[in-house]
Structure 1
Amino acid sequence: MELFEREKDPNKNILPFDGTVNYFGKVLDQKEADKYFSILLDSIEWKNDEAIIFGKKIITKRKVAWYGEEAFEYTYSKTTKSALPWTQALLDLKLLIEKQTGDTYNSCLLNLYHDGSEGMAWHSDAEKDLKKHGSIASLSLGAERKFAFKHKETKIKKELILENGSLLVMKGSTQNYWLHRLPPTKRVFGPRVNLTFRTILKKRDL
Structure 2
Amino acid sequence: MTTSNPACSLPSMLRPGPPNSDAGCSITAIATTTDVERSPIRSSAAPPLPIWALSATARLHRDRQLNERADQVIVNEYQPGQGISAHVDCVPCFGPEVAAISLGSAYTMDFLDPDTRVRIPVRLEAGSLIVMTGPSRYRWRHAIAPRKSDMTPRGRVTRGRRVSVTFRTVLG
Give the counterpart of 1:111 among 45, 64, 76.
76
Q: Aligned to 1:40, which of 6, 9, 13? A: 13
CA distance in 2, matches of 1:180, 1:102: 19
The 5-angstrom pairing of residues 96-107 of structure 1 reads 96-100=59-63, 101-104=65-68, 105-107=70-72
Report deviation, 1:182: 1.3
Measure, in 1, the Cα distance between the counterparts of 2:39 and 2:33: 6
- In structure 2, the partner of 1:193 is 163
> Does 2:150 correspond to 1:182?
no
Q: Structure 1 pair 145/136, CA: closer, same or farther in 2 (3 Å)? A: same
Counterpart CA distance in 2 for 1:77 and 1:174 is 18
Could you say which residue in structure 2 is the equivalent of 1:18?
Answer: none
Deviation digits for residues 85-133 of structure 1 (CA, Å, limit 9, x no counterpart) = 21111112112222231422221122111x12111011111331212xx
**Cα pair 2:73 2:165 within 8 Å, conserved:** yes
Q: Check conservation: 2:107, 2:124, Cα contact below 8 A.
A: yes
Counterpart of 2:51 (choices 88, 103, 109) is: 88
Structure 1 length as normaliser, TM-score?
Answer: 0.59
**Offset from partner CA, 1:36-60 (integer Å, 9 cap, x none):** 763222345155x8456xxxxxxxx
**Aligned-pair Cα RMSD in Å:** 2.6
Displacement of 1:77 after TM fit? 5.2
The residue that corresponds to 1:173 in the other structure is 135
Counterpart of 2:87 (choices 112, 118, 123) is 123
Matches of 2:114 and 2:52, distance apart in 1? 36
Percentage of pairs with the same residue? 25
Distance in 2 separating the partners of 1:92 and 1:178: 29
Output aligned runs, 1:151-162, within 5 Å: 151-162=113-124
Gaps of 5+ in 1: 1-35, 53-73
Report SS of the residue matched to 1:75.
helix
Letter in 2 for 1:190: G
Cα distance in structure 1, aligned partners of 2:134 and 2:33: 27
In structure 2, C-alpha distance between the alignment counterparts of 1:78 and 1:181, rounded to whole Å:
20
TM (normalized to structure 2)?
Answer: 0.70
Which residue does the alignment assign to 1:76? 37
Distance 2:90 2:135 in 1: 10
Write the mapping of 1:139-154 to structure 2, written as runs, cut at 5 A.
139-154=101-116
Structure 1 position 173, deviation (Å): 3.1
